[in-house]
Amino acid sequence: MEKLLVHGGRSLRGSVRVQGSKNTCLPVMAASLLNAGISVLENCPDIADVAVMQEILTYLGCVVNREGSTLIIDSRDACPRKIDDTMSCRLRASSVLMGPMLSRFGSVTAAKPGGCDIGARPVDIHLEAFKRMGASWSIGDSCIEVSAVHLHEGDIYLKFPSVGATENAVMAAVLTPGTTVIENAAREPEIEHLCRYLKLSGAKISGEGTNKITVEGVESLSDVVYTVPPDRIVMGTYMAAAAVTRGDIELIGCCASDACGFFDVYTGMGMKYKNTAGGIRVWQTDRPRNLNCIKTGVYPEFPTDMQSVTLSVAAVGEGCTLFEENIFENRYKIVKPLNDMGADISVDGKKAVVRGVDKLHGCALKGTDLRGAAALFVAALGAEGDSGISNPFYIYRGYEQLITNYRELGAEIEEI
């Protein structure tokens, strides 16, 4: 598929089940290497990033099968192999394989992880954590090598609360003798979900959800059945789509607390909500009201993954909003295509000023990263006229059955 043709201006109405979380599923899949047994992951999203991680695990000797929304991983015969760039360059989350591979096999060699070009995402924080546990590492032009004869307990302080580094440190410590303490740890819900999976397998972890996580090493982990929670960023994307189309959508399987960090922003912009038996209903009756300032930050602050789609909402909001991006410096790559659609956005470094306009108009668009492509899709849904979005595969990296789900809500989309 090369292009999506979106006929904009249709109000979205109906109900949709929010898929399982991409950013939970990927590290849990990586962690399945630790139990040397069977992991059954329910509510696993059928998206491109999960398919790549499945391909990597199969390459490492795991047997992975999908039955509907359930992924069954048998890691008993997994073996250490170099993860080359044909796989890792397609998936930034491949970096979370370092912790479990180092723990189980004593070494890991991998090409530098890829993914979206949204800014610098160095792995030095991950490597410093491993060093605190007795590992050594080297970085070449294209490869990272990490090894340890025996990992040992460590006191780890992360210089930045990196989600990936926190996940890697936790996974490396689970089977390491002694007590490892991770300070300035990330607090994102995905950290809590990973720890919940590991604890169901027999790990001893405390403090997840705070900035200090303690891991007491155990000898082994056991088979586990785990249900992946709903994807909070997909939930937020539906909310953005409802805002720009003045729609009314019931989000099945979600609640307001799943949207911590951005729910207050959307209600502040005029979105109404009501809890339902199956989830939460959100609707927008008037033009969104722009807030004075929206700053991205680490959880529980406004998430960087929601910045792009919210930029699309603010583009048609009433008033002016100052955005400040404090995580990834390339999030503003969508500003030019939004301005091509009639938006009034100016960028100065990590700040962007959005002056809302009455409406956007359709035009030719091109996705360059996952969340940016989703933002252009949201903008196209609310725009007047038709928009052709090339490179839609970026959206498919994180959004399950995108076309089907949005068509059922009333969107008119063609595949070209």
Residues annotated as catalytic are: 116
Instruction: Strand 364-366: give its sheet, edge to edge.
Output: 364-366, 386-390, 3-7, 412-415
CB 367 within 8 A of CB 392: yes
CA nearest neighbour of 404 among 22, 46, 67 = 46
Which residue do the tokens 């300032």 mark? 293
Please list the residues that pair with 67 across neighbouring strands. Answer: 70
Token pair in block for residue 392: 């839609």
Strands 70-74 and 136-139: unpaired
The beta strand positions in 325-403, using DSSP E, are 344-348, 351-355, 364-366, 386-390
Buried-state track 47-69, b at ≥16 Cβ within 10 A, e below 16: bbbbebbbebbebbebebeeeeb
How far, in Å, CA of 138 to CA of 311, rounded?
A: 39
CB 378 within 8 A of CB 309: yes
Q: Supply 399's token pair.
A: 């959004």
Q: What is the DSSP letter of 333?
A: G
Residue 254, phi then psi, degrees to nearest 5: -115, 165
Q: What is the DSSP letter of 18?
A: P
CB 383 within 8 A of CB 359: yes
* Structural contact between residues 16 and 250, judged by C-beta atoms closer than 8 angstroms: yes
Amino acid found at 329: E
Count the neighbouring beta carbons within 10 Å of the beta carbon of residue 275.
10
CA atoms within 13 A on the CB side of 340: 14
